[in-house]
Amino acid sequence: MHVLALPDPAATDALGAALANGAAPGLYLALDGDLGAGKTSLARALLRTLGVQGRIRSPSFTLVEPYNSKGLPIFHFDFYRFDADDEWSDAGFDEHFDGSALCIVEWPGHAGPGLRPPDLRVALEPDGDGRRATLSAGSARGAAWLTTTIDALRQ
């Protein structure tokens, strides 16, 4: 586990950019935090750094926004609107977690028990005028991703 102070939006963007260094097919990034915590901002910075061009929309209403950057398929999910455990399985999103794409999920707890544990979790919470990010790995690949991210932030 690693805790980072994010005193301003630029620091949140820097974390998103650092996460891009280890992003790869098959990885699943969970973004936790209350409304307005910065989950979508962090995801946008990550996607921009991966080379996604054009408008990056919040998937709050569409539930998923697909992207493809330099041959890497990416799915950005937001499960805030899910309120029953069976909505995850009924939506058919499990096919996107087959190992071929990077999956970024906001509000993963709303998906119920069908969603596998993330490789890396970033929990965002208010901290004075800024935010605090707690990063924790949930797999060996997630631990490597966490190390790569922290190393990138130190450079």
Listed by start position, the domains of the chain span: 2-154
Residue 84 has pLDDT above 80, yes or no: no
What's the confidence (pLDDT) of residue 1? 92
Residue 88 has pLDDT above 70, yes or no: no
Work out the number of other CB atoms within 10 angstroms of the CB of residue 61: 9
- What is the C-alpha to C-alpha distance for residues 151 and 45, in angstroms, rounded to an integer? 17
**Is residue 138 within 8 Å of 120, Cβ to Cβ?**
yes
- 63-72, 87-96, 137-146 — most confident range: 137-146
What's the confidence (pLDDT) of residue 54? 84
Q: Which fold has domain 2-154?
A: Rossmann fold (3.40.50)
**Is residue 97 within 8 Å of 28, Cβ to Cβ?**
yes
What's the confidence (pLDDT) of residue 102? 97
Q: What is the percent of the chain where pLDDT is above 90?
A: 65
Exposed/middle/buried for 95, CB within 10 Å: 0-12, 13-18, 19+? exposed
Q: Tell me the CA distances in angstroms from 135 to 20, 26, 30, 91, 95, one per residue in order.
A: 14, 18, 10, 28, 26
What's the confidence (pLDDT) of residue 95? 84
Lowest mean pLDDT among 1-5, 33-37, 73-77, 101-105: 33-37
Q: Tokens in use for 90? A: 């009924």
What's the confidence (pLDDT) of residue 58? 78
Q: Please give the mean pLDDT across all residues of the chain.
A: 91
- Summarize the confidence of residues 69-79 as an average pLDDT: 91
User: HEC string of 54-103?
Assistant: CCCCCCCCCCEEEEEECCEEEEEEECCCCCCCHHHHHHCHHHHHCCCCEE
